[in-house]
Structures are given as C-alpha cells and as structure tokens.
Chain A
Amino acid sequence: GAGVSQSPSNKVTEKGKDVELRCDPISGHTALYWYRQRLGQGLEFLIYFQGNSAPDKSGLPSDRFSAERTGESVSTLTIQRTQQEDSAVYLCASKTRDMTVTDTQYFGPGTRLTVL
C-alpha cells in the first residue's frame, strides 16, 4: 500500500518568507509526528498529533512554527518568516496506535528546505 508522502520534496525560499509543508500519513494511522533533521544531525521532535486530541507541541522551536491536522488525515507544517537556521530536512512519520510505544513509525521521504 501507499506509504507516507510529503510535499514538496524540495523547497528553496528567501529569508522572511512563509512556507507550508504537507504530510499525507498512511491511511488508518492515528498518530503523526513531525521532525527536523539538520545536516549531519539527529532527528529533532517538533510536534505530535493523535486523532482529535490536542497536539503535543513541546518540540516546536519558536512561535514561527505551527502545524495543523484535521482528524487522522493530512497535516501541514507552517514556518513563518523563515530564517537561514530553518534550513533542514523536515520529516513526517505516522504510526498505527498511540497506546503503545512499540509500534513502528513509518517515515515519509521528507521535505528539504533551504532558506537563502
């Protein structure tokens, strides 16, 4: 079946512009995560959605970052007034259930964001 998809695959923008990144999780997956991976670094947790519950936004680095998800469908990550330090690969992952941490996260291919 279809995996997690993300768009765009690459995004080049100018400093100060807003960008919107999209994630389509695997159908039926209730949990969705956004991560940021800077070059040569590990994954940084950004935000977590579980169904219609309030999202866990504890990883968002600043108020320029926001994310939305309607039910168990598509999620969008928005970065306002982008800065060069925002340049990274933004990865989305989905998981079947949130009641156990033993379930596998399936990652999308990521969006490579470059802020000039």
Chain B
Amino acid sequence: RKEVEQDPGPFNVPEGATVAFNCTYSNSASQSFFWYRQDCRKEPKLLMSVYSSGNEDGRFTAQLNRASQYISLLIRDSKLSDSATYLCVVPPDTGNQFYFGTGTSLTVIP
C-alpha cells in the first residue's frame, strides 16, 4: 500500500459548488498532515495544516479521521481561482522523507 493515496480526479465543478477530496494514509502513527496547492507548471504552496481533528480557514475545511486513516479537504463556494491540483502530504514518522500524494485535479467552471 502506498504511503499516501488520492483520487486523481479530475473534479469539474461549477462556480459556487462545494467539493470535497479525500486522502488516505498508511502510517497510523502520523500526527500531522498538510494540504498543498499546485497550479499548473508552478511549485506547490501550503494551503492548510491539520494537526488534530480538523482545521478551517475561510472557505476551506480540512478534517482528519484517524480511525479510518484519511484526511479530507472541503472547499465551499468554489471560485474559478480554486482551479489547481491539491496535494496531500504526510510528514515522516521517522526519518526525513515527506510523502506526497499524486494530487487531485480541480477545475471550477464558470
């Protein structure tokens, strides 16, 4: 099983819609998680960190389900500018290697 798995999508949603992505991880000892956003041909940028059960920042909500070992990202009232690839990231339990998911592609349609 891969360390981190994401549904690659693509998710095509109309403006104003609510969309959610899930990410599953294999290491039950993982304590913190990240969602990064990557625009086409650009570098990843941190969107949200998740340390406990969840985190909310404006239209974005990240939730953690430790029992089922998945984290989710919910985007409300989608904007055209939300179109990007969203990467789920799990830090190492030991060692230095952060594990990046392959990303979920979102396109918000006018």
Contacts and interface: CB of A to CB of B under 8 A. Distances in A.
Contact of A109 (B42, B46, B95): B42
Interface string A90-108: 0100000010011011011
A58 B97 contact: yes
A1 interface: no
Nearest to B88: A42
**B contact patch SS:** loop
Contacts of A108: 43
Interface residues of B, number: 22
Interface of A: 33, 35, 40-43, 45, 48, 50, 56, 58-59, 91, 98, 101-102, 104-105, 107-110
Interface of B: 4, 32, 34, 42-46, 49, 51, 87, 91-92, 95-103
